[in-house]
Structure 1
Amino acid sequence: MYEIVILGAGKSSSFLIEYLAKMASSFSYKLTVADANIQNLTARTTLLENVQIVAASLEETSTLQKIISDANIVISLLPPFLHTKVATLCLELKKHLLTASYVSDEIQKMHDEAKSKNLLFLMECGLDPGLDHMSAMNILDNLKEKGANIHSFRSFCGGLVAPESEDNPWGYKITWNPRNVVLAGQGMSQYMENGEIKYIPYPQLFKRAEALFFENFGEYEAYPNRDSLSYIPKYRLENVDTFLRGTIRKRGFCSAWQCLVDLGLTDDSIKMMDISNFSISEVFKRFFPTNVSIANYLKIGQDSEEYQKLLWLGCESDEKIALAGNVSPAEYLQVLLEKKWKLKDKDKDLVLMQHQILYELDGKNHELHSSLSVLGQNAQHTAMSKTVGLPLALAALFLYTGKITKRGVQIPTEKEMYKPILEECQTNQLLFIEEEKKQPSDDFY
């Protein structure tokens, strides 16, 4: 019997598991979900039919090999560092592989062999990356078919918290991989602006956030992703003047996060000595001089929004965070944020995405905005899990039924892949709203 295996049952897996379980009888396939954490497996599958679970460490090659050998399609929601191992086994065992993660250099090198074995390794097929690619390419290809010249493409996406569930000054809670939240933006960000390549070093990144507004949700801001440039050829926009992909946060988030960057709390390069008995304030004090207040060191007022956010995190608190052994500043911050930014059971998260496109058609300048907003139901049935899981589930079904025939290492920028997935996403209430601006941006002039 045809089998689909899902590796990983973490925060973003619930919708994917439930959708494929619901479809298993109609499409006549077996569904297996594997994870090292039995609590994750139980929480995601207890009420579902047509699901087999496997509780096992997925870092062990022999265990992975056994699970993958029984599959036809493998969907990996494991941490990115495990994807090369998974992909290598899929190549060896001749199994299709789908993930929501970025294409690594190691996996890209598998393209020719995967194609020769009639295998699809579909990467970047979640939310961001994933739905952003598909929705953007749908618009861009349609505009090009009409004869439009694309001058500027800017795209932003963020996993946030719904306004009614905002109960902390950061306006943020964790709905996806917490380590990625802490390490976001590290390295050098690069993008194209008015025909020139621009670079932003990590220490400056969050100072360069720009304002965004979403109808019904309010004011937000966005900072550039680390690598926009590599997507210019992937989006077939070699002649574009401006190309930028960025991440959305609530207004005021970035200036406060910059304080954590300036302190050094996002650094992952060193291990701090055992701090298991330290209070939060004692840990914070290790990052600025003695006899200087944190506000004075960071040059922020005690009545500032930035200081209030740091206070809420506990920068002057006697509370202790349970940790064993030596950890990096980033690891400590991650544990602190997982505690402080945890979704409550009835909290609703929010996914926002917006493409901003400047183009010329029939001698006239146009500005098009295409926006997506998705509200979660609660802490388990999140907007993040739906927007990551539904594209992956649909890709698996369309691969199984033969609607997707591409092979090799791919991302969903071709019409064969993005068109059926987007059409089915619409029937599941993932709707992009397009708006033509009456007065195009000054970037045209």
Structure 2
Amino acid sequence: MRQILVIGSGKSTSYLLKYLCDHAFSEDLFITVADLHIENAESFIQNNARAQAIKLDIFDAASRFDLIKKADIVISMLPAHLHIDIAKDCLKANKHMVTASYVSPEMQALDVEARSKNLIFLNEIGVDPGLDHMSAMQIIDRLRENGAQILSFESYTGGLIAPECDNNPWHYKFTWNPRNVVLAGQHGTAKYLKEGSYKYIHYHQLFKRVEPLSIKPYGDFEVYANRDSLQYKDLYQLNQVKTLLRGTIRRSGFCEAWHVFVSLGMTDNSYSMIGSESLSHRDFLNAFLPYHPSKSVESKLKDALQIDAHHHIWEKLESLNLFNNSSYCGIKNATPAQMLEKILTDAWSLTKTDKDMLVMYHKIGYKMNNKNHELNSNLVVIGEDSTYTAMSKTVGVPIAIATCAILNKKITQVGVQIPIAKTIYSPILKELQDFGIIFNEHIKIY
């Protein structure tokens, strides 16, 4: 029996574990899920005879390594900064490893040793990064094989709430780690290429620089630049393009309102607030507004934003219970970002019956047969409920398929890898169609 170790059992593991359990007998698998809190894991594996949940303190190095050395392959579903310890253990124990996270410099530094040991460390195999790589490279490779010259490349992804469950003025709920949403954009200056000009957006301007996006029949969205798009010139071999931009999708109006938190400093994660555990929501908001002996919090905020109570931003802020003097986050030594995260989690958590929506969109300009073309490719996946979400499906199923492909020696590229090679993405994208993860394309000539 082939042993798969999954470390971490958060929201994104429901479909991953379902796939592995469903294929346990046909693929001769035994799945061990290790986490400090195993309640999720136990509910996901549902007493499957080929699966078990084990308590693990990830910082207990001896126990962690003991589990890893018993596995044939390890899937790390931990926060990104914890992957490196798992990777080092995998090197020591000669085990393959799979993660959904971006390749960090520390992970890339393990490439030579992983290659020397014929180990596969496959990263960026979730949704974004992951599905974005695979679907984009499938189009790009196909176009090039047909003689096309790629002129521009844009790619956008967003985890949103399904239209039928959209019941707040932000048109948004958390479908993945709330901390990552609150801290979005703080990794550094966004960089991209637009019509031959290099563009740079500092975090404090990021949510003011948005562009509209319409996807029929799902309506109007907006996009903002995500991270360093320029690195994809080499990664996707797009050195001749005039436009190169990767971004995040939100519903129209979200970013303008989110900029309020950024501009006031409420997303800062660099310091702790004094007496944070005793601050009401209203006190928290007031802490970022100027002192005035008589003006209310509402008046000061309207003055700062230069809006009135009829503005769509005001409606969004009111919906978060921000002005309540009786609601408390209750977090000791909290950073502003942690306080904001708690307030938003109370307002934006999925209810049991809520369905989420994953949207991905590529726009590729190319020249072929002396004519310019624009190819639009979009993916929309709707979740089943708050457990089996679209986000969990589009993260977890690619990971599961790739894991089995490594065990079955269908993926053989050793070292630190991401899924941009045809031999990796083709079989995965083909099987994903069985799960309703299908990209729709439209081409126009101009």
Distance 2:233 2:435 in 1: 30
Whichever residue aligns with residue 437 of structure 1, its letter is K
Q: How many Å apart are 1:315 and its aligned residue?
A: 2.4
Contact 1:41 1:55 in 2 (8 A): no
**Cα shift readout 1:337-392 (whole Å, capped 9, x = no counterpart):** 11111000000000000000010001000000000000000000100000001110
Distance 1:265 1:437 in 2: 44
Alpha-carbon distance change, 48 to 437 in structure 1, aligned in 2, over 3 angstroms: farther
Contact 1:425 1:431 in 2 (8 A): yes
The CA RMSD measured in Å over matched residues stands at 1.2
Tell me the equivalent position of 1:207: 208
Tell me the equivalent position of 2:259: 258
Contact 2:279 2:330 in 1 (8 A): no
Distance 2:184 2:11 in 1: 18
Distance 1:214 1:227 in 2: 25
Tell me the equivalent position of 2:111: 111
Distance 2:63 2:196 in 1: 50
Q: How many Å apart are 1:151 and its aligned residue?
A: 0.7
Tell me the equivalent position of 2:331: 324
Tell me the equivalent position of 1:219: 220
Paired residues in the alignment total: 439
Tell me the equivalent position of 1:443: none
Q: How many Å apart are 1:335 and its aligned residue?
A: 1.3
Tell me the equivalent position of 1:165: 165
Distance 2:106 2:65 in 1: 19
Q: Secondary structure at the match of 1:339?
A: helix
Q: Secondary structure at the match of 1:230?
A: helix
Tell me the equivalent position of 1:83: 83
Q: Secondary structure at the match of 1:13?
A: helix
Whichever residue aligns with residue 276 of structure 1, its letter is E
Tell me the equivalent position of 2:295: none
Distance 1:234 1:166 in 2: 37
Contact 2:331 2:339 in 1 (8 A): no
> 6-15 or 290-299: which moved more?
290-299
Q: Secondary structure at the match of 1:26?
A: coil
Tell me the equivalent position of 1:382: 389
Distance 1:14 1:359 in 2: 39
Contact 1:189 1:226 in 2 (8 A): yes
Whichever residue aligns with residue 71 of structure 2, its letter is A
Tell me the equivalent position of 2:176: 176
> 127-136 or 310-319: which moved more?
310-319
Q: How many Å apart are 1:301 and its aligned residue?
A: 2.2
Tell me the equivalent position of 2:148: 148
Distance 1:410 1:419 in 2: 15
Q: How many Å apart are 1:140 and its aligned residue?
A: 0.1
Are residues 1:294 and 2:301 paired?
Answer: yes
Pairing 1:17-416 to 2, within 5 Å after superposition: 17-46=17-46, 48-186=48-186, 187-291=188-292, 293-416=300-423
Q: Secondary structure at the match of 1:12?
A: helix
Contact 1:277 1:320 in 2 (8 A): no
**Cα shift readout 1:258-280 (whole Å, capped 9, x = no counterpart):** 01111111001111012222210
Counterpart of 1:428 (choices 427, 431, 435) is: 435
> 288-297 or 200-209: which moved more?
288-297
**Cα shift readout 1:303-330 (whole Å, capped 9, x = no counterpart):** 1111111111122112423423111000
Q: TM-score, normalised by structure 2?
A: 0.96
Distance 1:390 1:73 in 2: 16
Alpha-carbon distance change, 63 to 335 in structure 1, aligned in 2, over 3 angstroms: farther
**Cα shift readout 1:198-242 (whole Å, capped 9, x = no counterpart):** 100001000011111111211111100011111221111121111
Q: Secondary structure at the match of 1:413?
A: coil
Q: How many Å apart are 1:30 and its aligned residue?
A: 1.0
Q: How many Å apart are 1:49 and its aligned residue?
A: 4.2
Distance 1:302 1:296 in 2: 11
Q: Secondary structure at the match of 2:404?
A: helix
Whichever residue aligns with residue 303 of structure 1, its letter is H
Tell me the equivalent position of 2:10: 10
Alpha-carbon distance change, 424 to 59 in structure 1, aligned in 2, over 3 angstroms: same
Contact 2:15 2:392 in 1 (8 A): yes
Question: What 5-or-longer segments of structure 1 have no aligned partner?
Answer: 441-445
Q: Secondary structure at the match of 1:306?
A: helix
Q: How many Å apart are 1:86 and its aligned residue?
A: 0.7
Q: What is the percent sequence identity of the aligned residues?
A: 46
Contact 1:8 1:35 in 2 (8 A): yes
Give 4+ residue runs of structure 1 displaced > 6 Å after superposition.
none
> 30-39 or 406-415: which moved more?
30-39
Question: What 5-or-longer segments of structure 2 have no aligned partner?
Answer: 293-298
Q: How many Å apart are 1:47 and its aligned residue?
A: 5.1
Q: TM-score, normalised by structure 1?
A: 0.97
> 328-337 or 32-41: which moved more?
32-41
Distance 2:311 2:62 in 1: 54
Contact 1:125 1:392 in 2 (8 A): yes
Distance 1:304 1:49 in 2: 56
Distance 1:300 1:63 in 2: 56
Whichever residue aligns with residue 398 of structure 1, its letter is A
Contact 1:274 1:324 in 2 (8 A): no
Q: Secondary structure at the match of 1:316?
A: coil
Distance 1:224 1:43 in 2: 37
**Cα shift readout 1:141-168 (whole Å, capped 9, x = no counterpart):** 0000111111100000001000111111
Distance 1:16 1:197 in 2: 39
Q: Secondary structure at the match of 2:442?
A: strand
Distance 2:310 2:15 in 1: 42
Contact 2:329 2:339 in 1 (8 A): no
Q: How many Å apart are 1:183 and its aligned residue?
A: 0.4
Q: Secondary structure at the match of 1:44?
A: helix
Whichever residue aligns with residue 214 of structure 1, its letter is I
Tell me the equivalent position of 2:296: none
